Structure formats: structure tokens, C-alpha cells
Amino acid sequence: MNAVPADRSSKPATVSARVSPAGGLDILSRNEVARLRDASGSGMHVLLRRCALAVLTSGNISDEPGSMFEQYPDFDIQVLQQDRGIKIELTHAPAQAFVDGHIIRGINELLVAVIRDIVYVSTQLEQGGFDLDDSVGLTHAVFEILRNARILKPQIDPNLVVCWGGHSISRDEYEYTKQVGYQLGLRGLDICTGCGPGAMKGPMKGATIAHAKQRRRNNRYIGVTEPGIIAAESPNPIVNQLVIMPDIEKRLEAFVRMGHGIIVFPGGVGTAEEILYLLGILLHPDNAGIPFPLVFTGPSQSAAYFEQIDHFLRLTLGDTVAQHYQIIVDDPDAVARAMVRGIDKVRNHRLDNKDAFFFNWALSIPFAFQVPFRPTHEAMRNLAIHHDRPRHELAADLRRAFSGIVAGNVKEEGVRAIQQNGPFDIDGDPAIMRALDNLLKAFVQQDRMKLPGGAAYVPCYRVRSV
């Protein structure tokens, strides 16, 4: 690798370098390389540049989807085909990704993951390799992407805990996520998160110490992201396996298909979206009797947060929804023990039903939870948020409402739509709208919509019927 420091000025320091890929990138065809270099609407270069810059700025925290490109406007990445394989050419790349002229190994591996996933998904879509017209085909698409990324590991007992929670959490909440991760790591459990900062980083950080104490090797710190969010939530440095799913729906399905249990830490609208996605699936009649441990937890200061979440879920989906989750406050040991017990039930159930440990085929995920939701102003107005619907269908539209707010907050397309046409309108049963409005106001007051210390949050939504 030949690294050349770029001109130093008031802009962030940059480096230009030609890098040999690390981490096992398969050879690419000339057509794939050409498409990675193609900056037109049908090419992959714009997406490659976006995701690559997110990886190279790993550790940065920003809610602004365009801020990375404002800091590094001259950054570029090219994949070069050579006789002995490919090279990655970086121009005006963030200097923080290099040490003494050499790219950090972990960042190199994540760059390879970016190229791998972009090429694979694009090629499969172009060739019709994915059947996206029904539920079975969509699940197979998720499976194929994870398999191609070498995420799925056979002959390993269930041990993967998915951790959800906000990137914008308090210091006490962040320290608590590390304590929980530490207790999980002591018990030999691996961690999967959305790969960003905050509650996505803390459990991984805690688990690394515990895994080291237990002299445990081949630990998995899996980060699952998607193109619309990666610019606002760069992968944290602990992630050692990264996969970029095409959209939020496939990202969420990847979590529940891979994970053997889920822990939810305090968060904002993105976390609420994840909760509603999973509970909507577990409420479906076809999934009755399938064990899936779900624990909501945080420090004592977060008790009110979980009371609000619990109240909202019970009001919208009925009191029996609480049968699907536990709330454990300020007790990392109890959280880890509960997760171990729950995963034991998962293991026994899959053995009894001859189901795979590495992918939850038995879970029925309705098409409504899989089809990508594009949060336009019309689509948000047309959400059917009414109590007279089956609970899993109501949960699906509530999930879409939160998904639209996430898009309006941090996704480029959503932010642009709000700038052009004003806030999204959300309407439905008055009781649900009041509960939704109260929950969203609490998120704003607790700085869960934007990073504390930033500009005052301006809602991208209007809740009607309140």
C-alpha cells in the first residue's frame, strides 16, 4: 500500500492510498468492477462511496446524513482490476482510518464487506436471483445475503444475542449497556447490533473484556446495517463482521432470523420501530409457541422510559402483549441469566423440531412486515392505525409510522421530503394518537431524537386526532 498524505488545511486530514483488500473478498468480474466505477443512476459507485466513507469514519457520531460528505467532499473510492486480484484505491480518505501510512486492519475488512454486499445484492437483483414477490422469496433473499457474507455459522449452539437501543443515550445508559454486554460475554454469548454507537457499541465493548477473561476466541461482534442509515450511524470499531442489507425490512428480518434472543436498551423512534416489528411477528397466530426471549432493560434512571414503552404497547396492542417480554431494571446479571434461560428454550425447541440453529426458518414473518415501506407523505397519511384491526396488522402499521419518522430524521430521502413538503401527518384512533404523541414528546424531552447538545429538535411529523 502506498499512502500519500493529502494537503493539510482547515479541512480534516486525509490520505490517498492503494489498498490490498483484507478479509477474503472473492474475485470480481470485469462487469462488476465496471458497475462499481459507474457513477450513473444505474451504477453502484454512489452507493459504494457513501458506505465506504461511513466505514472510514468509523467512530464518528453524527445525525446528519450529509455531514460526512461535507467534511470529505473530495473523497473517492475506486475498485481496480489487476492481474493478481483487485486493489482498492482511496483518494482523500479520512486520515483517522490509517496508522503510519497503513490502513487499520479492521477498517480494511469492513471496506471489503461493503464491496462484497453491494456487488452481490446488485448482481442478484439484476439477474433476478431474488424472488421478492412473496414472503418465502423475501426470506430466502435475506438468507442468501447472510450466507454470502459468511455470517451464518453451522455447528454452533445458539448463542447470538441481538442488542437494540439508541445511538443517542446518556452516559449512565451507555455504561449500563457495557455491563450487560460484560455479563453476556462471561456466559459465552456473542453480540449482534445495528453496528452504530451508543447502545449498539456498549454491549460489544463489554463483551470483549469478558471474552478475553474467559480466553474465548472466534468471538462474533456482528453489525447489521442498511444504506439508508449507515451515513448517520457509521459502524463502531468493535464490529468484526459487517453486513449491509438492502433496506430496513430485510435488516430487521436478518436480526430475528439470526438472533436467539433480543435485548432492548433505551432508545428513540428507531428502537420503537424495532420493538413493534418483533412484537408484531410474535403476536401472529402462526408463531404461537415459538420461544423468543425478549428483555427490555436499562439503569434505574431509565425506569420511566420503559414504563412509557410498556404503557404504549399495552394501550395499542392489549395487555397480553406483555407476555412476550420481560422488563428488568438495573440488574445486568439478571438480564444475562434471563437470556441464557431463554436461549436454552430456543435450543430445545429447535432440536425438537429439527430446525437450524443458525437461521430461524420456523418463524412466520408476514409479507406486510417484509415489503419495503417508502415513507412518502401520502403513505404516512394512509396508515391504518385503528384498534379494530388484528393486533399483528396494527403493529405493522405502527412500525411503519416510526419508520417514517426515522426517515424524516436521518435518512437523506426522508429529510429531503420533509424539507420540500413539510412534516408527515400521522392519523388514527384518538386514544392511540394521544399515546403516540406523548411517547414522541417524551423522546424529544429526553434528547432521544437528536444527539444532546445539538440543535433543537424540529419534529418531522404531526400527530393528528389529539
The answer to whether residue 26 scores a pLDDT higher than 80 is: no
The answer to whether residue 7 scores a pLDDT higher than 70 is: no
Look at residues 358, 390, 424 and tell me which one is the last residue of a structural domain.
Answer: 358
Which domain range does residue 46 map to? Answer: 2-129
Share above pLDDT 70 across residues of the chain, in percent, rounded to a whole number: 94
- Across-strand partners of 78? 89
Q: What's the confidence (pLDDT) of residue 177?
A: 98
The answer to whether residue 431 scores a pLDDT higher than 60 is: yes
Average pLDDT along the chain = 91
Helical segments of 128-268, H only = 135-148, 171-186, 202-213, 227-230, 248-258
Determine if the pTM surpasses 0.75.
yes
Supply 395's cell numbers.
Answer: 403493529
- Render pLDDT for 408-426 as a digit per residue (tens, 0 to 9): 988 888 889 999 999 999 9
**pLDDT band with cut points at 50, 70 and 90 for residue 78:** very high
Whether residue 349 is found in the same domain as residue 372: no
The answer to whether residue 296 scores a pLDDT higher than 90 is: yes
- The most distant pair of C-alpha atoms in the chain lies apart, rounded to whole Å, by 65
**In a 3-state reduction of DSSP, which class is residue 298?**
strand
Q: What's the confidence (pLDDT) of residue 232?
A: 72
**140, part of any domain:** no
**340, part of any domain:** yes
Nearest to 104 by CA among 191, 219, 17, 224: 17
Q: What's the confidence (pLDDT) of residue 351?
A: 96
**For residues 305 and 320, what is the distance between their CA atoms, to the nearest angstrom?**
20
Whether residue 116 is found in the same domain as residue 219: no
Q: What's the confidence (pLDDT) of residue 322?
A: 97
Whether residue 282 is found in the same domain as residue 158: yes
> Which residue matches cell numbers 452481490?
120
CATH number at residue 81: 3.30.1850.10
Supply 457's cell numbers.
Answer: 429538535
The answer to whether residue 64 scores a pLDDT higher than 70 is: no
Higher pLDDT, 59 or 452: 59
Look at residues 358, 381, 404 and tell me which one is the last residue of a structural domain.
Answer: 358
Supply 393's cell numbers.
Answer: 396488522
**142, part of any domain:** no
The answer to whether residue 62 scores a pLDDT higher than 80 is: no
**Three-state helix/strand/coil letters over 56-105:** HCCCCCCCCCCHHHHHCCCCEEEEEEECCEEEEEEEEEEHHHEECCEECH
> Which residue matches cell numbers 489498498?
19
Whether residue 218 is found in the same domain as residue 106: no
Q: What's the confidence (pLDDT) of residue 452?
A: 43
Q: What's the confidence (pLDDT) of residue 453?
A: 46
Please state the rounded mean pLDDT for residues 94-99: 95
- Render pLDDT for 220-262 as a digit per residue (tens, 0 to 9): 999 999 988 887 788 999 999 999 999 999 999 999 999 999 9
Share above pLDDT 90 across residues of the chain, in percent, rounded to a whole number: 75
Whether residue 354 is found in the same domain as residue 379: no
- Render pLDDT for 189-230 as a digit per residue (tens, 0 to 9): 999 999 999 999 999 999 999 999 999 999 999 999 998 888
Whether residue 353 is found in the same domain as residue 374: no
Q: What's the confidence (pLDDT) of residue 273?
A: 94
Please state the rounded mean pLDDT for residues 424-439: 94
- Render pLDDT for 122-171 as a digit per residue (tens, 0 to 9): 989 888 889 899 999 999 999 999 999 999 999 899 999 999 999 889 99
Please state the rounded mean pLDDT for residues 345-373: 95
The answer to whether residue 307 scores a pLDDT higher than 60 is: yes
Question: How many domains does one find in the chain?
Answer: 3
Whether residue 353 is found in the same domain as residue 372: no
Q: What's the confidence (pLDDT) of residue 66?
A: 58
